[in-house]
């Protein structure tokens, strides 16, 4: 059954797209939630007239998502949770906790459904979290999970100390590579 999407449907398409879906899915979910309408001749003609407005909205959404991506890319988000012995959490870090921490750290509100954990976070420390901002526009933020403010500041200090050491190691590797290339050239 062909339908016209009125808003983005993950895995199917965006606003104004004509997609083929099972009849039961269309009748029981898409129509009732006002996510889609049937792809009749009259509705397709109306879609052609609205195509310019849809394209403008799409450009605005992509521009907003790109701007958010630039702001969030490489951001560090801190979450305080109850930590037991050996760094194991009591429970896990939820997407809502991450969304709240993102808003506090950057001022940008991200829908918790757009945060992709991959697997549950049940240990203290640093974790990489992927955020799907809009369609194919994604970003990654660093999540620091600790039991208290003191542990967070200790983790930040350790991360800052590691960064210059990593840069120095990369510089040494680069000079070694250059030296081996010069020897090979001779």
Tens digits of residue pLDDT in 69-125: 999 988 899 998 888 888 888 889 999 999 999 999 988 999 999 999 888 999 988
Element (H, E) at 104: helix 95-106
Element (H, E) at 33: none
Copy the structure tokens of residue 107: 């001022």
pLDDT on residue 140: 92
66 and 151 within one domain: no
Q: How many residues does the chain have?
A: 186
pLDDT on residue 67: 93
Asked if 60 contacts 39 with a C-beta cutoff of 8 angstroms, the reply is no
pLDDT on residue 41: 94
Residue ending a domain, choose from 20, 51, 70? 70
Where residue 59 sits, what CATH number does that domain have? 3.40.5.10
Q: How far apart are CA 117 and CA 139, in angstroms?
A: 12
Domain count, the chain: 2
Name the percent of the chain lying above pLDDT 90.
Answer: 49
92 and 60 within one domain: no
Residue-wise pLDDT for 126-185, tens only, equals 999 999 988 888 999 999 988 876 666 665 665 555 545 455 455 445 545 554 555 555
52 and 94 within one domain: no
Residue ending a domain, choose from 70, 85, 105? 70
pLDDT on residue 112: 92
82 and 62 within one domain: no
92 and 46 within one domain: no
**Domain of residue 16, residue span:** 2-70
pLDDT on residue 172: 46
Residue-wise pLDDT for 12-44, tens only, equals 888 899 999 999 999 999 999 999 999 999 999
Reported as a pLDDT band with limits 50, 70 and 90, residue 46 is very high
90 and 38 within one domain: no
Total-model pTM = 0.69
135 and 159 within one domain: yes
Q: How far apart are CA 151 and CA 106, in angstroms?
A: 21
173 and 132 within one domain: yes
Question: 92: which residues sit within 8 A by CB, 6+ positions away?
Answer: 120, 121, 122
113 and 82 within one domain: yes
144 and 89 within one domain: yes
Residue ending a domain, choose from 70, 99, 128? 70
């Amino acid at each position: 059954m062909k339908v016209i999407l009125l808003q983005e449907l993950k895995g199917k398409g965006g606003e104004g797209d004509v997609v083929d879906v099972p009849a039961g899915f269309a009748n029981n979910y898409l129509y009732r939630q006002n996510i889609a309408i049937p792809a009749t001749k009259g509705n397709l003609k109306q879609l052609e007239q609205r195509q310019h407005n849809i394209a403008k909205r799409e450009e605005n959404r992509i521009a907003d998502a790109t701007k958010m991506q630039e702001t969030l890319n490489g951001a560090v988000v801190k979450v305080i949770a109850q930590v037991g012995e050996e760094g194991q959490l009591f429970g896990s870090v939820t997407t809502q906790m991450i969304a709240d921490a993102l808003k506090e750290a950057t001022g940008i509100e991200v829908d918790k459904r757009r945060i992709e954990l991959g697997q549950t976070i049940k240990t203290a420390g640093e974790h990489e979290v992927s955020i799907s901002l809009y369609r194919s526009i994604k970003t990654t933020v660093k999540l620091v999970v600790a039991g208290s403010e003191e542990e967070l500041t200790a983790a930040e200090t350790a991360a800052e100390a590691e960064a210059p050491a990593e840069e120095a190691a990369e510089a040494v590797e680069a000079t070694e590579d250059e030296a081996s290339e010069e020897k090979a050239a001779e």
